[in-house]
């Protein structure tokens, strides 16, 4: 581990984060809210200043970052996200938030979790824009953004790209990783713009349309309305958000191929997308039946609310069109199962991801078949391509550790809160970057301010671990990782 490389790369990221933080100042000026200039100006100066110091303290040759190693890339990505969370929390301090609450809200934003500390919504538009904008930046990844726009990451970007967006396979669909990052951001930005226009057409105020669209495509869930999407009382708006949430949880790589080939049926050539599509609609139908039997309300409204919540939770968006914490036990149990599914790989959604579940179930089927045919060779395939045995093992280990971390943090949180329902819900909510839970105290129309400070700290850690999909976190726990570091430093 070469600390000079790490400090220089993190310093570069901090410098540009400092520039990004200036954007809410424009919102403050537009609305004549001059008091909101100082919080973001201070955060910008701190971030850019520290970034400048880091880079000047450990100067490197212009192309040195291209020599970055995989372990260093993992460490840089982890550090960049932690630093981004800390810097993003600075503006909240100016609005009366305690340090832990400011960090909680900021990390919930950048990791697109959407669990809020807000106990009221009497804040200026600049702050609402900032919390939505941090989700949009975090949805596709700050490193992916910088790879797309910064020449300094031209070659080193490959290692950091796959460190920030780990998936079942390392897929790039253009010869250069920088072009891949640019293509992903073009799809992402295009969908965001389309949703803003449609929401305004449906009658949503322009500023709300902007913030809700930034939060939708990032699968984040922060809304300027205290009642989330339910607060707009419009099924037209609900269906627009349903559509864009669904595609926020679909692979942006796949969507780019659809645009290039001008063939929407390309979506259904993907085994993962078909599984995602079927899972969402089957679970929505089951919950619709459960809610309808218990409440005997209009079937279309039940289906709209059920589909909305299933997609919202599957993609880890966390928006709400209804207070699902008040649903019957069966419906909430089905939603709890949905929390463990996840969306597609290479999407803005969180969770385990559908591709991993496909490989896990095919591995199980293969092992059972080997009992009957011990000499047979069974290849696990995804979209007709054989998944390498080492990739299969990594996926199984990933899922195993996901449940280990979930169980450990659920037990800890249950003990701290003295409530197992809150502990279980909050653990999967944080690790899956979902946001609202099934417990009334932290449900879709509630907030997380009442949680114990220790629970908030565990939640913050889980949000980082979930957003980075465990890999950098697990690598940092290896003694060999730090041993190599000391060797290289010496």
**Does residue 65 register a pLDDT over 70?**
no
- pTM score, whole prediction: 0.89
Region 424-439: mean pLDDT is: 91
Instruction: Check residue 430 and give its pLDDT.
Output: 93
- 146 or 270: which leads in pLDDT: 270
Q: What is the mean pLDDT of residues 95-117?
A: 94
Query: What's the pLDDT tens digit per position in 190-238?
Result: 999 999 999 999 999 999 999 999 999 999 999 999 999 999 999 999 9
Cα 255 from chain centroid? 18
What is the average pLDDT across 114-121?
92
Closest CA to 414 of 452, 449, 463: 452
Q: According to the model, what pLDDT value does residue 287 have?
A: 94
What is the full DSSP assignment across 268-312? GG-HHHHHHHHHHHHHHHHHHHHHHHHH---HHHHHHHHHHHHHH
State which H helix or E strand residue 413 sits in.
helix 389-417
- The pLDDT-based confidence of 3 (bands split at 50, 70, 90) is low
pLDDT value for 88:
94
Q: How many angstroms separate the CA atoms of 319 and 304, rounded?
A: 13
CA dist., res. 253 & res. 216, Å (int): 18
More confident residue, 390 or 34: 34
Distance of CA 271 to the CA centre of its chain: 22
Average pLDDT over residues 91-119: 94
Radius of gyration of the chain (CA): 22
> Tell me, what's the pLDDT at 481?
64
Distance CA(266)–CA(258), nearest Å, equals: 6
Taking a C-beta distance cutoff of 8 angstroms, is the pair 219, 347 a contact? Answer: yes
- Summarize pLDDT for 361-403 with one digit per residue, the tens: 999 998 888 888 888 778 888 888 888 888 888 888 889 999 9
Residue, of 348 and 297, whose pLDDT is higher: 348
Task: Tell me the three state secondary structure of residue 374.
Answer: coil
Is residue 41's pLDDT more than 80?
Answer: yes
| pLDDT tens-digit map of 462-488 | 999 988 877 667 766 666 666 654 444
The span from the CA of 141 to the CA of 253, in Å, is 14
pLDDT band at 277 (very low <50, low <70, confident <90, very high): very high
Nearest to 10 by CA among 152, 120, 205: 152
Q: How confident is the model at residue 342 (pLDDT cuts 50, 70, 90)?
A: confident
Q: Burial level of 296, CB count in 10 A (0-12/13-18/19+)?
A: exposed
- What H or E segment, with its residue span, contains residue 89? helix 70-93
Q: What pLDDT is attached to residue 314? A: 93
Structure tokens at 5: 């490389």
Quick one: pLDDT at residue 490?
36
CB 434 within 8 A of CB 316: yes
- Express each pLDDT in 226-250 by its tens digit: 999 999 999 999 999 999 999 999 9
pLDDT grade for 274, boundaries at 50, 70 and 90: very high
pLDDT value of position 142: 62
Per-residue pLDDT at 335 exceeds 90? yes
pLDDT at 64 over 80: no
């Amino acid at each position: 581990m070469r600390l000079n490389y790490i400090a220089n790369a993190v310093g570069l990221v901090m410098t540009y984060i400092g520039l990004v933080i200036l954007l809410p100042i424009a919102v403050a000026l537009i609305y004549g809210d001059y008091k909101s200039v100082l919080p973001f100006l201070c955060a910008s100066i701190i971030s850019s200043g520290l970034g400048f110091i880091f880079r000047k303290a450990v100067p490197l040759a212009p192309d040195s970052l291209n020599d970055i190693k995989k372990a260093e890339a993992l460490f840089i990505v982890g550090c960049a996200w932690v630093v981004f969370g800390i810097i993003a929390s600075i503006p909240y301090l100016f609005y009366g938030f305690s340090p832990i609450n400011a960090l909680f809200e900021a990390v919930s934003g950048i990791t697109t979790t959407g669990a809020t500390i807000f106990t009221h919504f009497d804040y200026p538009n600049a702050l609402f824009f900032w919390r939505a904008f941090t989700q949009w930046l975090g949805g596709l990844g700050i490193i992916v953004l910088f790879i797309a726009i910064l020449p300094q990451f031209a070659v080193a970007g490959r290692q950091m790209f796959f460190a920030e967006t780990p998936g079942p396979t390392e897929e790039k669909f253009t010869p250069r990783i920088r072009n891949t990052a640019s293509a992903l951001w073009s799809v992402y930005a295009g969908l965001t713009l389309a949703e803003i226009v449609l929401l305004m057409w449906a009658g949503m105020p322009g500023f709300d349309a902007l913030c809700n669209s930034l939060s939708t495509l990032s699968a984040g869930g922060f809304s300027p309305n205290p009642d989330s999407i339910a607060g707009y009382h419009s099924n037209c708006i609900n269906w627009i958000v349903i559509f864009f949430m669904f595609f926020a949880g679909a692979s942006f790589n796949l969507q780019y191929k659809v645009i290039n080939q001008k063939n929407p049926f390309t979506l259904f050539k993907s085994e993962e997308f078909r599984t995602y599509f079927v899972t969402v609609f089957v679970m929505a139908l089951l919950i619709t039946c459960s809610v309808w039997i218990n409440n005997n309300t209009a079937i279309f409204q039940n289906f709209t609310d059920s589909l909305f919540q299933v997609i919202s939770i599957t993609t880890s968006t966390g928006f709400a069109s209804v207070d699902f914490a008040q649903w019957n036990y069966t419906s909430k149990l089905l939603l709890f199962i949905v929390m463990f599914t996840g969306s597609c790989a290479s999407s803005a959604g969180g969770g385990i991801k559908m591709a991993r579940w496909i490989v896990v179930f095919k591995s199980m089927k293969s092992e059972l078949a080997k009992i009957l045919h011990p000499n047979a060779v069974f290849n696990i395939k995804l979209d007709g391509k054989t998944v390498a045995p080492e990739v299969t093992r990594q996926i199984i280990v990933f899922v195993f550790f996901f449940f280990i971390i979930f169980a450990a943090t659920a037990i800890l949180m249950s003990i701290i809160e003295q409530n197992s329902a809150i502990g279980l819900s909050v653990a999967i909510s944080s690790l899956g970057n979902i946001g609202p839970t099934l417990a009334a105290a932290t449900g879709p129309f509630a907030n997380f301010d009442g949680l114990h400070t220790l629970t908030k700290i565990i939640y913050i850690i889980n949000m980082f671990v979930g957003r980075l999909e465990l890999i950098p976190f697990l690598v940092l726990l290896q003694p060999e990782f730090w041993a190599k570091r000391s060797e290289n430093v010496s």
